[in-house]
Amino acid sequence: MRHSRRRQVLYILMATFVGTGYFHFLNKQMSLQTAESFEMEISEHRQDRSKDVHIAGESLQSKPNPTIFEGKTSDGVTGASSDMISHNEDEDATKELVRLYDYLQNTKRRCEKLVYIGKETPRESFVEGTFPICLDWQFWPEENQCLVYSYGINDNWGFEDGMAELFGCENHAFDAHMYDFKDHRHSRNVWFHRKALGNRTSDSAYSEGKNDIIARDKWGKSELERLRVVKMRTLDSMMTELGHNGKTVDILRLDAEATTQSYEFDIIRNLVETGTNRCVRQLTVEAHFFGHLTSQVIKEYRDKREILRKLEDSGFELLEFHEPEEFSPEHAQDFVTSLTEQQLPLVFVMLWGSPEAEPCRN
């Protein structure tokens, strides 16, 4: 997350959980009443849409949110109420969190020269707003002429400026939801493109952004809907447009989420399924898991773990993982309860590297 919205909720969890690593939560920029009102509008909008809705490049058939009645949702999923998950779902969510935690902890490899780029960089330890990269020779270009693709800027240029100033990298920054910005050259080695990185190529993809509540208040609901129709590119099509065929993306940074959904795993899945991941040397990601937990969300936890397994099977190694410092397997049940009742997102940072990266040729 490239802002400080999470500070407000840290104290809620610090007294409950014990663990190691780094964990931070998103802090809402609006009151709960405003957020609920906005989410209600989003829900109504999705119910009204009869055509396919493209969110983060994934084409999803719109369908109404399930209605809760007599302990069940309208789609047949048992639930205690609209605000709580059932006991069985709660147990399943706990198990999935533990499985994800164990997988990431047990998969982690060692990077000898790990640095964090972002705020006040370079750093040897993690702080909010920084992303890890590995300078070991297996994961760094020999000529030190690096190419960086960075998705999810939110008008915070710490990572891109750091990579340009410290290593002289050519940086291309992407954010389709910086509605006030046009394509431009941010600095000598940093270019901005108001496009989304996703799992399909389209000039009319529907995609929600993390600051859409602010945009709605500024321009109004109808204008926000127009702005949400964005240009979206897969990594390989983006490289073709920018003339980077025959090159390797040395660092791909992902920090892509909206108010209540994340896009990073859609992008990673596309990389693996299309084989474009072979063109990426390092993948540094801020990953988001959103409450409130439902059977569908629990399935998404499982699917995301499988996506990471496929990434590993394709030759990537997990070099760094900052798990929630308040989370441990022993306290997973309490953690799930907090995610559900407070509807707070789980956020962690991970770095993957491939020693076998090669130039992309379409």
User: DSSP letters of 149-218?
Assistant: EEE--TT--HHHHHHHHHH--EEEEE-TT-TT--SEEEETTEEEE--EE-SS-EEEEE---TTHHHHHHH
pLDDT at 48 over 90: no
pLDDT of residue 117: 95
> Of 113, 162, 170, 114, which Cα lies nearest the Cα of 145?
170
pLDDT of residue 300: 79
Mean pLDDT confidence for 35-56? 40
Q: For residues 93 and 71, what is the distance between their CA atoms, to the nearest angstrom?
A: 18
pLDDT one-digit tens code per residue, 224-249: 999 999 999 999 999 999 999 999 99
Residues above pLDDT 90, as percent of the chain: 43
Mean pLDDT confidence for 311-327? 84
Is 246 within the bounds of a domain?
yes
Q: What single letter denotes the amino acid at residue 245?
A: N
Is 304 within the bounds of a domain?
yes
pLDDT of residue 288: 81
pLDDT at 192 over 90: yes
Mean pLDDT confidence for 194-203? 94
Of 2 and 320, the structure prediction assigns the larger pLDDT to: 320
Is 51 within the bounds of a domain?
no
pLDDT at 197 over 70: yes
Look at the chain and report how many structural domains it folds into: 1
Residues above pLDDT 70, as percent of the chain: 65
Q: What single letter denotes the amino acid at residue 104?
A: L
Lowest mean pLDDT among 86-90, 170-174, 248-252, 271-275: 86-90
pLDDT of residue 296: 72
Is 63 within the bounds of a domain?
no
Is 142 within the bounds of a domain?
yes
Question: Whole-model pTM?
Answer: 0.73
Is 243 within the bounds of a domain?
yes
pLDDT of residue 350: 93
Q: For residues 119 and 129, what is the distance between their CA atoms, to the nearest angstrom?
A: 6
pLDDT one-digit tens code per residue, 114-152: 999 997 777 877 777 899 999 999 999 877 789 999 999
> Of 236, 238, 143, 156, which Cα lies nearest the Cα of 195?
238
Lowest mean pLDDT among 114-123, 168-177, 232-241, 301-310: 114-123
pLDDT one-digit tens code per residue, 10-43: 333 333 333 333 333 333 333 334 444 444 444 4
Is 82 within the bounds of a domain?
no
Lowest mean pLDDT among 172-186, 227-241, 247-261: 247-261
Is 59 within the bounds of a domain?
no
Of 194 and 29, the structure prediction assigns the larger pLDDT to: 194
What DSSP string describes 236-268? HHHHHHTT-TT--EEEEEE--B-SS-B-HHHHH
pLDDT of residue 142: 79
For 272, residues 6+ apart whose C-beta sits below 8 A from its C-beta are 307, 310, 311, 314
pLDDT of residue 188: 93
> Both tokens of residue 342?
């407070």
Work out the pLDDT band at 316, boundaries 50, 70, 90: very high
Structural domain range at position 117: 7-45+87-353
pLDDT at 325 over 50: yes
